[in-house]
């Protein structure tokens, strides 16, 4: 949960998750929908899906026991070398390096490394340093310390060198380059993808959602019905019903992913009477059912908006 997410955001999610799934077996036996409902709003849903997949692998192939080698840990989806290192050193007290974003920044500044940190050659160099720096004893304390220095003192902007236990020997501090590091290669503009959402609400206030079974950012989550092209949405409505009223149209939502930006155009209709030709991947949800499944954050936000504007009919 903490990958790419701050501790204070994670805490309530973590507490609820651990209450419901206190061990490997309780997670491995759960349905994906339920697991993702505990992830709703936290983003980066692949982490939740990977956690479930990992629990299933651990149950089946490791007798529900967490392995204690980097190679075996890296067989689990979502666990790379750095996460494996953190599990080994913090969980098992085994000597193993980490190189998460915080540790990387501390090392880059401490050694005054001027190469872009996104280059494989720089990352390899940093792994070597991380490995060499490991103490023989109390590797867990060292790992926690370097993460904490990165998160709390050697912060991305305005590092607080005055408080830093490494300041005496820190090269970038001495050279006064610490505020310029780490360096990254120039960013490419993210491509923009269009998405046309259709929010269908029936006379009981229920909302029609579809499950993204296909691989991708919202895999396994429930979303409004989406179309790549404007005319496809138009055609779809024609097939379903002639008896509807427009509740909202033309609203635009922007959503940022790591590799692209999404421009969403929204059309919200209330359909009256029976709907034709609905395939079985789409399901009507009332308010209570919506709590039990995983929803991407733009869908959650829009549903909250609908609830506010439409209290008379939304259950
Ligand atoms: S002295 Fe400053 S730049 Fe160097 S590691 Fe500490 S906080 Fe970072």
Q: Is 274 helix (H, G, I), strand (E, B) or coil?
A: coil
Copy the structure tokens of residue 297: 């954050």
What value does the mean pLDDT take over residues 145-162? 96
Q: How far is the CA of 143 from the centre of ligand 1 (A)?
A: 17
Q: Is the pLDDT of residue 309 over 60?
A: yes
Percent pLDDT > 90 in the chain is 73
pLDDT value for 277: 67
Q: Give the separation between CA 232 and CA 222, rounded to whole angstroms.
A: 20
What is the reported pLDDT for 276? 67
Q: Residue 144 Cα, ligand 1 centroid: separation in angstroms?
A: 16
Which residues lie closer than 8 Å to 310 by C-beta, 6 or more apart?
Answer: 201, 205, 247
pTM for this structure? 0.71
Cβ-contact 246, 235 below 8 angstroms? no
Q: Which residues contact 284 (CB under 8 A, 6 or more apart)?
A: 202, 206, 207, 208
307 in Cβ contact with 290 (< 8 Å): no
The pLDDT of residue 52 is 97
Question: Where exactly are the structural domains of the chain?
Answer: 96-187, 192-309
Give the mutation target among 152, 154, 155 for probing the ligand 1 site: most ligand atoms within 8 A of CB: 154
pLDDT of residue 307: 84
* Average pLDDT score, the chain: 92
Q: What is the dihedral of CA 22, 23, 29, 33, to 10 degrees?
A: 50
In tens, the pLDDT along 189-221 reads: 899 999 999 999 998 889 999 987 777 788 888
Instruction: Name the least confident of 129-138, 207-216, 224-233.
Output: 207-216
Q: Residue 110: CB within 6 Å of ligand 1?
A: yes
Output the CA 260–ligand 1 centroid distance in Å.
33
Summarised one tens digit per residue, pLDDT across range 67-89 is: 999 999 999 999 999 999 999 99
Q: In CATH terms, is domain 192-309 a member of 3.30.360.10? A: no
Query: What spatial distance separates the first Cα and last Cα of the chain, rounded to whole Å?
Result: 32
Quick one: three-class SS letters along 178-234?
A: HHHCCCCCCCCCCCEEEEEEEEEECCCCCEEEEECCCCCCCCCCEECEEECCHHHHH
Instruction: Identify the helix (H) or strand (E) that includes residue 251.
Output: strand 244-256
pLDDT, one tens digit per residue, over 247-304 is 999 999 999 988 899 999 999 999 887 776 677 778 999 988 888 888 998 999 999 8
Could you tell me if the CB of 134 is within 6 A of ligand 1?
Answer: no
pLDDT at residue 315 greater than cutoff 50? no
Pick the CATH number of 96-187 from 1.20.1250.20, 1.20.120.160, 1.10.1670.10, 3.40.50.720: 1.10.1670.10
Name the pLDDT band for 187 (thresholds 50, 70, 90).
Answer: confident
Averaged pLDDT, 110-125 = 97
Q: What is the mean pLDDT of residues 59-73?
A: 97
């Amino acid at each position: 949960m903490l990958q790419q997410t701050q501790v204070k955001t994670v805490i309530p999610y973590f507490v609820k998750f651990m209450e419901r799934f206190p061990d490997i077996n309780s997670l491995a036996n759960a349905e994906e929908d339920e697991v993702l409902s505990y992830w709703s709003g936290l983003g980066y849903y692949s982490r939740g899906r990977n956690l479930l997949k990992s629990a299933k692998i651990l149950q089946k192939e490791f007798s529900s026991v967490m392995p204690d080698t980097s190679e075996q840990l890296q067989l689990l989806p979502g666990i790379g070398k750095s996460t494996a290192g953190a599990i080994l050193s913090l969980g098992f007290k085994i000597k193993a390096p980490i190189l998460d974003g915080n540790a990387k920044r501390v090392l880059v500044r401490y050694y005054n490394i001027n190469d872009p940190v996104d280059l494989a050659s720089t990352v390899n160099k940093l792994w070597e340093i991380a490995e060499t720096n490991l103490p023989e004893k109390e590797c867990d304390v060292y790992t926690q310390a370097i993460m904490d220095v990165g998160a709390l003192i050697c912060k991305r902007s305005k590092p607080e060198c005055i408080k830093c236990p490494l300041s005496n020997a820190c090269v970038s501090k001495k050279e006064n380059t610490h505020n310029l590091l780490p360096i990254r290669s120039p960013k490419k503009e993210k491509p923009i993808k269009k998405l046309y959402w259709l929010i269908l609400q029936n006379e009981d206030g229920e909302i029609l959602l579809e499950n993204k079974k296909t691989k991708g950012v919202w895999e396994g989550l429930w979303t409004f019905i989406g179309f790549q092209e404007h005319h496809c949405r138009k055609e779809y409505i024609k097939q379903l019903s002639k008896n509807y009223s427009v509740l909202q149209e033309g609203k635009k939502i922007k959503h940022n992913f790591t590799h692209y930006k999404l421009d969403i155009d929204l059309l919200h209709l209330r359909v009256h009477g029976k709907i034709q030709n609905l395939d079985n991947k789409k399901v009507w949800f009332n308010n209570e059912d919506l709590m039990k499944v995983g929803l991407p954050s733009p869908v959650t936000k829009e549903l909250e908006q609908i609830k506010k504007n439409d209290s008379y009919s939304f259950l």
